[in-house]
Amino acid sequence: MYMDASEAGREVSMNLHWVSKETRAKLIELMLSTRSIIELSRDLGISPTAIRKYVKKEAYPSDEVLQRALEKLAPYEVDEAMRMIILDLVESLRALYGSLDEKHREFLRETLRSIISQG
Protein backbone atom coordinates (compact mmCIF):
# COMPACT_ATOMS: atom_id res chain seq x y z
CA MET A 1 0.00 0.00 0.00
CA TYR A 2 1.29 3.43 -0.91
CA MET A 3 -0.47 6.56 0.16
CA ASP A 4 0.68 10.11 -0.48
CA ALA A 5 -0.81 13.38 0.67
CA SER A 6 -3.08 13.58 -2.39
CA GLU A 7 -4.75 10.35 -1.30
CA ALA A 8 -5.80 11.46 2.17
CA GLY A 9 -9.44 10.71 2.83
CA ARG A 10 -9.51 7.77 0.43
CA GLU A 11 -10.09 4.16 1.36
CA VAL A 12 -6.92 2.56 2.62
CA SER A 13 -6.37 -1.17 2.48
CA MET A 14 -3.48 -2.26 4.66
CA ASN A 15 -2.90 -5.08 7.11
CA LEU A 16 -2.39 -3.16 10.34
CA HIS A 17 -2.32 -6.02 12.83
CA TRP A 18 1.44 -5.70 13.34
CA VAL A 19 1.36 -1.96 14.22
CA SER A 20 2.55 -1.56 17.82
CA LYS A 21 0.43 -0.19 20.64
CA GLU A 22 2.76 2.79 20.95
CA THR A 23 2.42 3.73 17.27
CA ARG A 24 -1.35 3.30 17.44
CA ALA A 25 -1.43 5.79 20.32
CA LYS A 26 0.90 8.19 18.47
CA LEU A 27 -1.36 8.15 15.41
CA ILE A 28 -4.34 9.11 17.56
CA GLU A 29 -2.27 11.87 19.18
CA LEU A 30 -1.27 13.14 15.72
CA MET A 31 -4.91 13.40 14.72
CA LEU A 32 -5.85 15.04 18.03
CA SER A 33 -3.30 17.78 17.43
CA THR A 34 -5.72 19.35 14.91
CA ARG A 35 -9.12 18.03 16.07
CA SER A 36 -11.14 18.00 19.22
CA ILE A 37 -11.87 14.72 20.97
CA ILE A 38 -15.50 15.05 19.85
CA GLU A 39 -14.53 15.61 16.20
CA LEU A 40 -12.12 12.69 16.19
CA SER A 41 -14.60 10.37 17.88
CA ARG A 42 -17.18 11.25 15.21
CA ASP A 43 -14.64 10.72 12.41
CA LEU A 44 -13.65 7.32 13.77
CA GLY A 45 -17.13 6.18 14.80
CA ILE A 46 -16.17 5.62 18.43
CA SER A 47 -16.99 7.31 21.73
CA PRO A 48 -15.09 10.27 23.16
CA THR A 49 -14.38 8.03 26.16
CA ALA A 50 -12.53 5.60 23.88
CA ILE A 51 -10.38 8.46 22.57
CA ARG A 52 -9.57 9.53 26.14
CA LYS A 53 -8.56 5.95 26.99
CA TYR A 54 -6.25 5.89 23.94
CA VAL A 55 -4.63 9.16 25.02
CA LYS A 56 -4.12 7.84 28.58
CA LYS A 57 -2.85 4.54 27.11
CA GLU A 58 -5.49 2.63 29.05
CA ALA A 59 -6.63 1.12 25.74
CA TYR A 60 -5.40 1.08 22.15
CA PRO A 61 -7.20 1.45 18.82
CA SER A 62 -8.26 -1.80 17.15
CA ASP A 63 -7.18 -2.61 13.60
CA GLU A 64 -10.57 -1.38 12.37
CA VAL A 65 -10.31 1.95 14.21
CA LEU A 66 -6.74 2.37 12.97
CA GLN A 67 -7.92 1.68 9.42
CA ARG A 68 -10.59 4.39 9.72
CA ALA A 69 -8.02 6.77 11.21
CA LEU A 70 -5.75 6.34 8.18
CA GLU A 71 -8.69 6.97 5.89
CA LYS A 72 -9.54 10.19 7.77
CA LEU A 73 -6.05 11.68 7.80
CA ALA A 74 -5.81 15.21 6.50
CA PRO A 75 -3.40 15.62 3.56
CA TYR A 76 -0.84 17.33 5.79
CA GLU A 77 -0.92 14.38 8.24
CA VAL A 78 -0.29 11.59 5.74
CA ASP A 79 3.51 11.84 5.52
CA GLU A 80 3.98 11.91 9.29
CA ALA A 81 1.58 8.98 9.80
CA MET A 82 3.31 6.88 7.13
CA ARG A 83 6.72 7.66 8.67
CA MET A 84 5.42 6.50 12.06
CA ILE A 85 4.15 3.22 10.62
CA ILE A 86 7.30 2.58 8.57
CA LEU A 87 9.62 3.30 11.52
CA ASP A 88 7.52 1.01 13.71
CA LEU A 89 7.94 -1.85 11.26
CA VAL A 90 11.67 -1.16 10.81
CA GLU A 91 12.18 -1.23 14.57
CA SER A 92 10.38 -4.59 14.76
CA LEU A 93 12.55 -5.94 11.94
CA ARG A 94 15.68 -4.65 13.72
CA ALA A 95 14.68 -6.45 16.91
CA LEU A 96 13.89 -9.64 14.99
CA TYR A 97 17.20 -9.48 13.11
CA GLY A 98 19.11 -9.10 16.36
CA SER A 99 17.51 -12.21 17.79
CA LEU A 100 18.25 -14.51 14.83
CA ASP A 101 21.15 -16.86 14.21
CA GLU A 102 23.28 -16.21 11.10
CA LYS A 103 21.38 -18.69 8.90
CA HIS A 104 18.07 -16.96 9.57
CA ARG A 105 19.62 -13.48 9.34
CA GLU A 106 20.74 -14.35 5.82
CA PHE A 107 17.23 -15.53 4.98
CA LEU A 108 15.82 -12.23 6.24
CA ARG A 109 18.41 -10.25 4.22
CA GLU A 110 17.54 -12.22 1.07
CA THR A 111 13.83 -11.69 1.64
CA LEU A 112 14.28 -7.94 2.14
CA ARG A 113 16.51 -7.69 -0.97
CA SER A 114 13.81 -9.47 -2.95
CA ILE A 115 11.14 -7.05 -1.74
CA ILE A 116 13.30 -4.02 -2.54
CA SER A 117 14.27 -5.28 -5.99
CA GLN A 118 10.59 -5.78 -6.89
CA GLY A 119 9.86 -2.10 -6.15
Query: pLDDT of 11-58, one tens digit each?
Result: 666 789 999 999 999 999 999 999 999 999 999 999 999 999 999 999
The CATH-assigned architecture of domain 18-118 is Orthogonal Bundle (1.10)
Q: Tell me the per-residue pLDDT of 56-85, one tens digit each, with 9 for 90 and over.
A: 999 999 999 999 999 999 999 999 999 999
pTM above 0.95, yes or no: no
Measured distance CA(100)–CA(105) in Å, rounded: 6
The three-state secondary structure class of 15 is: coil
88 has pLDDT over 80: yes
Specify the pLDDT at position 1: 43
